[in-house]
Amino acid sequence: MNKKLHIKKGDTVYVNAGEDRKKTGRVLEVITEKNRAIVEGINMVSKHTKPNAEYPQGGIIKREAAIHISNLQVVDPVKGVPTKIGRRLNEKQKLVRYAKKSGEEIK
């Protein structure tokens, strides 16, 4: 089942709760089943790894962990501030997301 979320891969988002609040980042991945997203540079965790092909030395690696999408807001493309997202039909009768603060369509 494919859910419609207000956040998509590639969006710039603002974190409004948690340890990294007031920071912005780009969405790398959206996990729809769990309502979570992985955001670049946000919610960094230390992961202990054994030596493998990617990390021949092994050791402790810092990487992004998933954050719940309720703690994220899309950044308005015009004003550059966090905004709510709406959906409406455009000229071509296609459903598109738009920023409620500026009315601008979000690609």
Q: Can you give the pLDDT at residue 2?
A: 67
Q: Can you give the pLDDT at residue 3?
A: 74
Q: Residue 95: helix, strand or coil by DSSP?
A: strand
Compute mean pLDDT per 10 residues along the chain, 107 residues long, and list them.
84 95 96 96 96 93 96 94 94 93 90
Residue 28, number of CB atoms within 10 A of its CB: 14
pTM: 0.84
Burial of 58 (0-12, 13-18, 19+ CB in 10 A): exposed
Token duo for residue 33: 């089943």
Q: Can you give the pLDDT at residue 86?
A: 94
List 44's β-bridge partners, or say none. 64
Q: Can you give the pLDDT at residue 1?
A: 53
Q: Can you give the pLDDT at residue 98?
A: 94
